[in-house]
Every structure is written in C-alpha cells, then in structure tokens.
Chain A
C-alpha cells in the first residue's frame, strides 16, 4: 500500500507531471511564474486546495453521486460548485486563523477555482476508481508537481530577464518554448515507476 501511494505521488510529480505532461493548470503556470517568491505561494495554496478537493471529490462521488445514479449528469456541476465553495471557505478560514499566511498566499486563492488542475484531479479520482488514501495521494502529488513546475519555470524566467530574447518571442512565446524544453527533460522520468 505504502509503495503504491509512493508511486502515485512520484507519478504525479515526475513521470506524468500534471503541468508539463498532462497540460493542466496552464493559466497560472504562465501567469504567476515570473517570480520565484510568488510561484512558491501559488504552489502551496494550490497544493492545499487540491488535497482538500481530492477528499471532497472522493466523498461526493462515492457517497452521493454514485449511489443515487446522479453521476452522469450532475458530476460536473456538483464538482465545480464544491471546488468554488471550498476555495471560498479556505480563504475565510485562513484570514481568521493567520493573517500572515493570508498575506502570503491569500491573493492567489480566488484564482484557484478556475485552475483546471483542481477540477482535473477531481475528475480523475472517479475515473481511476481510487480509494480515499489514494485520492489524497493523487491530490497531494498533483499539487507538488504543479509547485515543482511553477518554481522551476520562475527560476528560469528570473534568469532570462538578464538575457537577450528575440523581439518576437518576448512574453508568452519564450515561456512556451522553455516549457517545451522542461517537458522534454521530464520525459526522461518515463519508466521510473514500475507498473502492475
């Protein structure tokens, strides 16, 4: 069991990185990756919400949607509403408990609702028929993978500011090409996790 969980997390972080190989969470990956400091904040906030969403999606799927046969037509609506409410709740709780923490990543929270990595991970849980622990591992792994990609990219972008980039490629274009090279590096992790 422990081995399986380890493989789920390693798989989500390296082998099938949610950003660089599954293409989830591209908007913040491009938008919030210009400074390492903000990248870390965004990554942490997303990881937190992802892990909680994984738990919520598991219970919603297995105790509400599946038993009553609502899955085919209420899954999308209920998942997105739960994610939106969860993000709102986390924002309020963090503000009450620790204003310092809120200042660190509170501003990123509203952006997370439309981050497709959260909805994507929620949708994968019923698809893979994961149990509760595995669902949490998937959420955590997805978040860590997202943070890793974001922090790597922000480091490269900070460095890139001091270098000449062809005029036409300035802005998102060079970020895409850099992401392509990063993604190629991550292809090297293929086969790291044994299957079956």
Chain B
C-alpha cells in the first residue's frame, strides 16, 4: 500500500474514533453538567434573597434578572450576576437586591481563583455580610465603606466595584421604591 495513503487512513481512523469517544462522553456528562450549573445558580439566588424558596428568570435590557419568590408566590427581591477582575482571574458574584427598599439583601461568590488564605477569603461570611443593607448611593470603596480583607485589597476592590457598577444599571431598570 502507498505509504501516504496509509498515513492518511490511519490519521482519519484515529480522528474518527476520537470524535466518537468525545461525542459519547459529552452525551453522558452533559445532562449532569447542565443540572449542576442550574442547581448552583438556583441555590445562590435563594441564598442572596432571604425568604425566597423558588425563582423566576426574566430578561431586561440584556441583563438577566432572577426574581425570588416565597411559597405563596410573593416577591421577596431580585438577584443578578456580576463579575470583577480579581488577582488571578475573574470573580463571579450573585447579588441580591430589594428594589422596594433600595437596599442589597446579600451577596454570594459564584466562582473565583483567588489565592487561598488571602483573596479567597472574600468567600467568608464576615466579608460578604457587610454588603447587606448597602444602597446604590454608597461609595463601595475598599478600606472606606467596605472593609477590605487584609493583604487582599485587589480582590476586595474587585468585588465592591463590580457590585457598584452592576447595581447602577439595575437601579435604572428598577427605580428605588418602584414595582418589579
């Protein structure tokens, strides 16, 4: 057999086998991956909106808003995702907000790759809790109205300024005190 033909045939067979294996593993794992992602999202929404037991997803001016509802279907607040650039990469944050009061309900870190023991401490309750009750008028500046984690000013600043930027956009859609 011509050696070039043989090279091409071998490469083709290996590529096809590889494609088959990959498609198969994707089929097997994809439902679980999707389910994991959905569960994680719902969990974080329910954490940042106290009292909510279910959520509803709506799209407003290319911002995805999650509305938190309690068992009777009463609106308990809204949640939105935001992201800042931390020390080692992006930090993704879920923010809970009450448009009636114009105050933050809580935040949750969705993903980050900050240094363990330093930047990673933005996941600690003490850091996250200080955002509760803040309003859009606040400065959101680390070391001023936001207590920065010592040795991790960059990570703390990234979280604070990301929340501030997105909150300003959300307040434009849902004015303070208005209905949602």
Binding site for B on A (CB under 8 A): 16, 22, 72-74, 77, 127-128, 190-191, 195-196
B157 to chain A, nearest CB (A): 6
Given A195-B85, A196-B84, do A73 and B26 touch, yes or no (CB 8 Å)? yes
List, sorted by A's number, 16 A–B pairs whose CB atoms are closer than 8 Å: A16-B88, A22-B88, A72-B30, A73-B23, A73-B25, A73-B26, A74-B22, A77-B18, A191-B153, A191-B154, A195-B84, A195-B85, A195-B86, A196-B157, A196-B161, A196-B162
Residues of A close to B25: CB separation below 8 A? 73
Closest residue of chain A to B26 (Cβ to Cβ) is A73
Partner pick for B158 among A16, A74, A190, A196, CB 8 A cutoff: A196
Q: Is B87 an interface residue (CB 8 A)?
A: yes
Q: Is B90 an interface residue (CB 8 A)?
A: yes
A12 to chain B, nearest CB (A): 12
Q: Give bound CA distance, A15 to B2, whole Å.
A: 54
Partner pick for A72 among B26, B84, B90, B154, CB 8 A cutoff: B26
Given A16-B88, A128-B90, do A195 and B22 touch, yes or no (CB 8 Å)? no
List 11 additional A-B contacts (Cβ < 8 Å) besides A77-B18, A127-B89, A191-B154.
A73-B25, A77-B22, A190-B87, A191-B153, A195-B85, A195-B86, A195-B157, A195-B158, A196-B85, A196-B161, A196-B162
Q: Give bound CA distance, A195 to B141, whole Å.
A: 12
Residues of B close to A74: CB separation below 8 A? 22
B23 touches A195 (CB 8 A): no
Q: Is the interface of B mostly helix, strand, loop or mixed?
A: helix
Residues of B close to A22: CB separation below 8 A? 88
Q: Give bound CA distance, A73 to B26, whole Å.
A: 6
B residues 73-132 with Cβ under 8 Å of A? 84-90
B165 touches A196 (CB 8 A): yes
Pairs of residues from A and B, 7 with the lowest C-beta to C-beta distance, nearest first: A196-B161, A73-B26, A73-B22, A195-B85, A195-B158, A191-B154, A72-B26
B38 to chain A, nearest CB (A): 16
Q: Give bound CA distance, A16 to B114, whole Å.
A: 12
Q: Give bound CA distance, A72 to B30, whole Å.
A: 9
Q: Give bound CA distance, A112 to B87, whole Å.
A: 27
Residues of A close to B18: CB separation below 8 A? 77
Closest residue of chain A to B155 (Cβ to Cβ) is A195
Closest residue of chain B to A11 (Cβ to Cβ) is B85
Q: Give bound CA distance, A128 to B86, whole Å.
A: 12
B84 to chain A, nearest CB (A): 7
Most buried by B among A16, A190, A191, A196: A196
Q: Give bound CA distance, A190 to B155, whole Å.
A: 11
A64 to chain B, nearest CB (A): 15
B82 to chain A, nearest CB (A): 11
B28 to chain A, nearest CB (A): 11
Closest residue of chain A to B157 (Cβ to Cβ) is A195
